Amino acid sequence: MPKKTDLRVIRTRKNINEAFLKLIQQKGFDSVTIQDIANEALINRATFYLHYEDKFDLLEKMSNTIIEELMNSINPAYHIEDKEVKIKKLQSTIENVYECVSKNHSFFKVMFGEHGVYNFRNDLEEMVRNKFSKNMTDLGVHPSDFEIPKDLIVHFICSAFVGVIQWWLKEDMNPSPREMSLQLSKIVTMGPMQAAGIKVGKMFE
């Protein structure tokens, strides 16, 4: 049976993570030192090194944990059956995504912020694209099944996915995850124009 992590260890890591994010927000990742983190977390340097090799190791471990949680909440295969979108399941997936972002809002606000880590958004989009592409393959959807090139669709969806999360954080996570699931499911299934109440004319070649 795996040994449980000591509560003191959990508390110390939590303090280190919170101090690290606060310092990145204030002065940027490149300017943050181990001594800065230790001072902010009210620990000594030796204690920091018991948990992390350096600030790069800290950033990687913290990011991996949170991004993995976000990726696990994204599951197109769950709400698509026989190439048909199940609306209730789609709403559930979207709500889970925004609950995850809300839970880890301090991390995402800092990463997307003025002093966030370079290329974070691009890296996140790439991970989301890979997840969507893999899910489509798992569902048996082939490039020939698309009326529009698959890469274009996936890039559009994933850019919008990350961009709307960034916007939502700037809006102080309003509306709620539940309301976001209702509104975004309309946009996804109806398209932006029809969801906005604009009639869409017939398509001509």
pLDDT per residue over 121-132, tens digit each? 999 999 999 988
CA distance 24 to 147: 44
Q: What pLDDT is recorded for position 1? A: 43
Does the pLDDT at position 144 exceed 50?
yes
Band the pLDDT of 153: cuts 50, 70, 90: confident
Name the nearest CA neighbour of 126 among 60, 71, 54, 184.
71
Q: Is the peptide bond before 76 cis (omega within 30 degrees of 0)?
A: no
Q: Of residues 196 and 90, which shows the higher confidence score?
A: 90
Count, residues in the chain: 205
Q: What pLDDT is recorded for position 141? A: 66
Is residue 23 within 8 A of residue 32, CB to CB? The reply is yes
- Helix (H) or strand (E) segment spanning residue 80: strand 80-81
> Of 52-56, 83-87, 150-154, 155-159, which gets the smallest average pLDDT?
83-87
Quickly tell me which residue has 């789609």 as its tokens. Answer: 90
Is residue 185 within 8 A of residue 91, CB to CB? The reply is yes
- Mean pLDDT score, 158-167: 95
Q: What pLDDT is recorded for position 33? A: 97
Q: What pLDDT is recorded for position 162? A: 95
Question: What's phi and psi for 56, nearest 5 deg?
Answer: -70, -40
Max mean pLDDT among 46-60, 148-162, 184-198 falls in: 46-60
Percent of the chain's residues with pLDDT above 70? 92
Does the pLDDT at position 163 exceed 70?
yes
- Mean pLDDT score, 142-166: 86
Does the pLDDT at position 168 exceed 80?
yes
Q: What pLDDT is recorded for position 151? A: 86
Q: Of residues 168 and 135, which shows the higher confidence score?
A: 168
Q: Of residues 112 and 1, which shows the higher confidence score?
A: 112
Band the pLDDT of 25: cuts 50, 70, 90: very high
Band the pLDDT of 69: cuts 50, 70, 90: very high
